């Protein structure tokens, strides 16, 4: 995975390249970004960049001609001409064609290790990340912007809680104590360190004084949920949310959406590309009709229609309810901006609740909707 293949984040990409080119690479980095911002993709692309043979100077290319600078089976090569050779420090992305890049792209590079929340498959099981490595590779390729919920559903966790266990910490210590196989660096990408309990303190010594050329990349969404002892030993790299323009462009080029539809989705996604993809998946749902039916039921004070609407909405499932809330949210913002002394009516989505009328002077529209989303755990 190259930097070029990742949506937006130009400033972060330049920052990461600058670290390598100016020899300012810390041994432990904390990539901190909200869901859907591409944090995991940036970590994988950075690992590929570091291990790339062209970037490291192990393989030089001029156009389509490869210039080897290492001995071959036929003896020492002749000195390669220096004209038109791009200096190592000018590479701003991995080449994508050397053997190291190809392995990193398939997530099979022997010096790039992964750790992530896992579940026990049976009672008494002591799972580690490598037990799920096949599913992990498939998940990252199919859901590059997926979150922990998506991952746990992908491995059929059902109601089981994912964790990064003490056994996983021991396995990390074992893997990083070995010499690197091919690359100059050994890299560990630890996804969601928020799921690392007190057993994560086993890694403190290794993070603080790692073996030579060992790099930790922690990929997190919530800084407060990371062990303070681990957080204090890392260099923070903040990953901002994607811009509206970035999401619009990605939806047009990658998802093949028409410009108008891409603009509508990008406006609601709020920088979260995962949510944008979820909206495409549920685009067959006619939220406008659903909203119109609710408004008609409320404005006309039709209790039967209101109860019917609530019952139907309760049956559509959590994900679709979430999509409808996101569709509704911009309208609430607009209503709050233009509303002076009018009343705002908001829907409640389960049969146990009734429709209420709130005055803007008592409960602001956005605050009420946010409370509702929190109550629904969305």
- CA–centroid distance for 10 within its chain: 16
What angle (nearest 5°) sits at the alpha carbon of residue 356, between those of residues 352 and 360?
145
- Residue 139 has a pLDDT of 92
**pLDDT score, position 135:** 92
Q: What is the pLDDT of residue 323?
A: 64
Cβ neighbourhood burial of 337 (10 Å; 0-12, 13-18, 19+):
exposed
Give the mean model confidence (pLDDT) for residues 243-270. 83
Q: How far apart are CA 102 and CA 92, in angstroms?
A: 17
Compute the distance between CA of residue 299 and CA of residue 76 in angstroms, rounded to an integer.
Answer: 85
Percent of the chain with pLDDT over 90: 10
For the residues 74-92, what does the mean pLDDT come to?
Answer: 45
Please compute the mean of the pLDDT values over residues 95-112 and round it to a whole number.
89
Confidence of residue 202 (pLDDT cuts 50, 70, 90): confident
pLDDT of residue 114: 93
Q: Identify which has the larger pLDDT, 220 or 270.
A: 220
Overall pTM surpassing 0.85 (yes/no):
no
What are the DSSP calls for 143-209, one per residue? Answer: -TT--HHHHHHHTT-TTPPPBB-HHHHHHHHHHHTSPPSSSS-EEEEEE-GGGB-GGGGGGHHHHHS
- Distances from the Cα of 138 to the Cα of 2, 32, 132, 134, 155, angstroms: 18, 24, 10, 6, 11
**For residue 162, is pLDDT > 80?**
yes
Pick from 36, 3, 45: which is nearest to 242 by CA?
36
Q: Which residues pair with 369 in a beta bridge?
A: none
What average pLDDT is seen over the chain? 75
What are the φ/ψ torsions at residue 220 (nearest 5 degrees)? -135, 160
Query: In a 3-state reduction of DSSP, which class is residue 260?
Result: helix
Q: Which of 84-88, 279-283, 305-309 has the lowest mean pLDDT?
A: 84-88
Rounded to whole angstroms, the Cα distance separating 180 from 47 reads: 14
Segment 21-44 mean pLDDT: 88
Secondary structure class of 225 (helix, strand, coil) = helix
Model pLDDT, residue 240? 92
Q: How confident is the model at residue 264 (pLDDT cuts 50, 70, 90)?
A: confident
The whole-number average pLDDT for the span 39-66 is 74
What is the per-residue DSSP string for 297-329? HHHTT-HHHHHHHHHHHHTS-HHHHHHHHHHHH
| Mean pLDDT, range 239-255, rounded to an integer | 87
Distance, in Å, from the CA atom of 191 to the CA atom of 117, rounded to the nearest integer, reads: 8
Structure tokens at 315: 């049956």
* Residue 352, both tokens: 């146990």
pLDDT at 44: 92
For residue 373, pLDDT beyond 80:
no
Of the two residues 87 and 169, the one the predictor is more confident about is 169
Q: Considering only 27-31, 112-116, 305-309, which range has the smallest mean pLDDT?
A: 305-309
pLDDT of 86 > 70? The answer is no
Residue 4 has pLDDT above 70, yes or no: yes
178 in helix, strand or coil? Answer: coil
């Amino acid at each position: 995975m190259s930097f070029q293949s990742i949506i937006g984040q130009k400033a972060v990409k330049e920052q990461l390249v600058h670290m390598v080119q100016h020899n300012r690479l810390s041994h432990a980095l904390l990539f901190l970004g909200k869901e859907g911002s591409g944090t995991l993709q940036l970590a994988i692309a950075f690992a590929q960049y570091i291990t790339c043979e062209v970037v490291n100077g192990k393989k030089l290319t001029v156009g389509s001609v490869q210039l080897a600078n290492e001995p071959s089976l036929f003896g020492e090569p002749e000195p390669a001409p220096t004209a038109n050779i791009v200096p190592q420090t000018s590479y701003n992305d991995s080449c994508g064609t050397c053997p190291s890049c190809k392995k990193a792209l398939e997530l099979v590079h022997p010096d790039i290790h992964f750790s992530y929340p896992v579940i026990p498959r049976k009672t008494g099981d002591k799972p580690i990340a490598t037990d799920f490595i096949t599913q992990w590779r498939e998940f990252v390729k199919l859901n590059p912007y997926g979150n922990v919920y998506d991952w746990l559903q992908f491995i059929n966790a059902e109601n089981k809680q994912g964790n990064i266990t003490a056994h996983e910490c021991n396995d990390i210590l074992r893997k990083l104590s070995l010499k690197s196989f091919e690359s100059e660096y050994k890299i560990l990408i630890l996804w969601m360190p928020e799921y690392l309990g007190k057993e994560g303190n086993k890694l403190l010594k290794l993070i603080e004084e790692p073996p030579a050329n060992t790099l930790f990349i922690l990929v997190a969404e919530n800084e407060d949920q990371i062990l303070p002892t681990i957080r204090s030993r890392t260099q923070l790299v903040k990953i901002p949310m994607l811009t509206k323009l970035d999401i619009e462009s990605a939806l047009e080029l990658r998802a093949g959406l028409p410009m108008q539809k891409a603009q509508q989705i990008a406006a609601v996604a709020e920088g979260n590309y995962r949510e944008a993809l979820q909206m495409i998946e549920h685009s067959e749902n006619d939220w406008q009709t659903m909203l119109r039916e609710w408004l008609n039921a409320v404005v006309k004070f039709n209790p039967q229609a209101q109860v019917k609407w609530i019952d139907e909405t309760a049956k559509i499932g959590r994900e679709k309810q979430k999509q409808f809330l996101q569709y509704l949210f911009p309208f609430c913002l607009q209503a709050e901006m233009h509303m002076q002394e009018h009343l705002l009516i908001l829907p409640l989505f389960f049969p146990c609740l009734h429709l209420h009328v709130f005055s803007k002077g008592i409960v602001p529209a956005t605050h009420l909707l946010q409370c509702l989303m929190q109550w629904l755990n969305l």
